[in-house]
Structure formats: structure tokens, C-alpha cells
Amino acid sequence: MKFGTKAIHAGVEPDPTTGAIMTPIYQTSTYVQRSPGDHKGYEYSRTHNPTRTQLQNALAALENGKHGLCFASGMAAIDAVIKLLAPGDEVISTNDLYGGSYRIFTKIFQNYGIKFHFTNMADLSKVEALVNENTKMIWVETPTNPLLNIIDIKGCAEIAKKHNLLLVADNTFATPYLQTPLDLGADIVMHSLTKYMGGHSDVVMGALIVNNDDLHERLAFIQNACGGTPGPQDCFLILRGLKTLHLRMERHCQNGRKIAEYLKNHPKVEKVFWPGFEDHNNHNVAKEQMNDFGGMISFVLIGDKVEDATHVLEKLKYFALAESLGGVESLCGHPATMTHASIPREERMKAGLSDSLIRLSVGVEDAEDLIADLEQAIG
């Protein structure tokens, strides 16, 4: 199946009881057994739920994986992955990382004896230089949040294989429409389904997709034992969102290109971060591992003043000032005080995330209206 057909059909089947074409919401906590241990594959909804099963199957299919696992949030999915490790283990990750990931790494798991190294992963020599006998995992986020840096997944996979490490790829910004990390050598793909996969800003959920049976078994044990699972209503909403993922992503990419080019030519804009530009760091890697360049854009105004950025954010109308991204509506944000506020300013500045950086999640509205909105806000 090509991607559009897969988004609608793969991993889901009509309800065997009624023939319902849409997966029913199995709003139940438990299931009747014929005899002790004699059941129909479902015992308790923390462990399994038919609505969640269909969603997990669909996600696995879209990522060209074998197993999918859903969690109550993207953070719950990250939590499950790091619980594969033990005190004394070390993880290498990017220095341009989603603030929530940085927070759980440094404020939670570091307290349990797991060490994290943050480096510029656009340069793979810096990644391999950090590998030692305690290293167990490489955590990749590409494109990164919010500087849209591109990390070579295949190159990281070669390093991981050489040193017998787990490679995890956060694919939230790209979605499987733009790249499939398992095909490039990743062991685990992570998603905040809240974003593009759901696409309508009405649900919070996370997911992991793997090929390895043993890895799936270990993560499924953590999923059930720790209990960070989503409810069936939320699973239904993500299933609904997946059916238009290809259509939405196509429009996000089209609009993203127009907005990025508009901003690059604006006399008041100093720098635009968007992987589709030839002068963007690792643009050639993006061309090779992605099908397009997405609808996420960050930019800095000339002068790099916080008050100027604040003025623009307050004036935007179609771009709503709000946390999150990936919905059909356009959003704008100020990473330094919103999504990345948990990262110390010194660390943010080292990575190039200035106090005045503006991040845009370009929606599926008419691009001309979005450009007009930016024009009136920037001046």
C-alpha cells in the first residue's frame, strides 16, 4: 500500500461483531471470562483494550514496524523507554531537545543514577566521542525542537550497531509521512501523538513502535506494570486523525515552504530555521531521509530583542499563541518561556536557542492569509 491508502486501511479492521467500519470505543474497564483464565484475549483495560489494539496496529503499519504501544502522553512513552535502563547507564542525546524530554532526563532519571550527555548531534563525530562502556542508548530527535536541526538517523544507527546500543528516534515533528526511522536503523520510534498524528488539538497521547519482539515484550511489561495507558475515547480520536494524516501533512509542507520563503525575504527577519533551505545545516541529510521538510519553522528578528518578539506574538491573529504544535490550526510560541522554559538559559544559549526565538507550527489554512497575518504582526 502507498502511504495514503495505508493511513486509512492498514492495521484496522471492521468490527467483527457488528461490521462497524469505524473502530468502536470499547468504554469498559474489565471483560467477562468464561472460566478462570479462559477469555477472549482481554482481561483488564490497563493491559489491553480493543480500541487501543487497533490504534497500536495502525501506528505500527504506518511506521513500517511490527509492534505499536500507546501511552497516556508522549512523556509517558519517554518514561517507559528510559525505564529500560539501570543506574549507571548513560544516554547520548542532542543539545537541541524538547524541553519536556530534557526535564524528565535531568530532573527525574538523573536522580536514579542514569547519566545523560547532550551534544550537537548534527556532527556524528561528537556522538561517537561520547560513547563509553556505560553507554546504553542514543536518543535522536530530528528535526529538532525548536531549531529544526537535522540528525543523520542512518549514521547514528551505524554507531549504535557498532557499540551495541539502543537507538531511539523521536519522530514527532516529521511523522511517518516524512520519514520512517525504523527503516533507517532505529530500534524504537517515539511519538507525541498529541501533535501531527492526532492533528486536531483535542487529545494528549504518546506511542512507541518497534520491530524487535523482545524489546516489545519488555516495553509492554512496563506499559502494563506502570499503567501510563490511554483511554479508549482518546484512542478513537487518534485513529480518526490518522485517516487524514497524509492530506494534512501535504498541506502543512506546502504552507511551510511558502511561509519559510516569505520570512527569509522579510527585511526585519535575521534568520529562519527550516530544513528545506539549501544553506540549512545538514540540508542534504534532510533531503535523503525525509520526503519533504514539514510545517515547523523558527525565526529570529533583526536585533534579537525579546520585546520585539513579544510584540509580534501578541499581534498575531491566525497564529494562536499556545503550547503544542501539529494541529490543523496555526500556532506560534516562544520556546524560551514556554516549551523550553525547563532548560537553563545558559544551556539554551549554547545550543543557539535565543530568548527572542519565535516558533511557528504552520497549519492548513490558506497560506495567503497566514502571510498577511505575519505581515501585519511583524510590520
Show the 3-state SS of the chain: CCHHHHHHHCCCCCCCCCCCCCCCCCCCCECCCCECCECCCCCECCCCCHHHHHHHHHHHHHCCCCEEEEECCHHHHHHHHHCCCCCCCEEEEECCCCHHHHHHHHHHHHHHCCEEEEECCCCHHHHHHCCCCCEEEEEEECCCCCCCCCCCHHHHHHHHHHCCCEEEEECCCCHHHHCCHHHHCCCEEEEECCCCCCCCCCCCCEEEEECCHHHHHHHHHHHHHHCCCCCHHHHHHHHHHHCCHHHHHHHHHHHHHHHHHHHHCCCCEEEEECCCCCCCCCHHHHHHHCCCCCCEEEEEECCCCHHHHHHHHHHCCCCEECCCCCCCCCEEECCCCCCCCCCCHHHHHHHCCCCCCEEEECCCCCHHHHHHHHHHHHC
Say which of 15, 31, 42, 46 is annotated catalytic. Answer: 46
Active site residue 98: yes
Active site residue 170: yes
Instruction: Residue 277: count other Cβ atoms within 10 Å of its Cβ.
Output: 17
Q: Which of 149, 144, 140 is nearest to 167 (CA)?
A: 140
Distance CA 365, CA 283 (A): 26
Say which of 89, 96, 98, 359 is annotated catalytic. Answer: 98
Distance CA 63, CA 211 (A): 10
C-alpha radius of gyration, the chain, whole number: 21
Say which of 170, 234, 292, 373 is annotated catalytic. Answer: 170
Say which of 52, 195, 248, 359 is annotated catalytic. Answer: 195
Q: Which residues are catalytic?
A: 46, 98, 170, 195
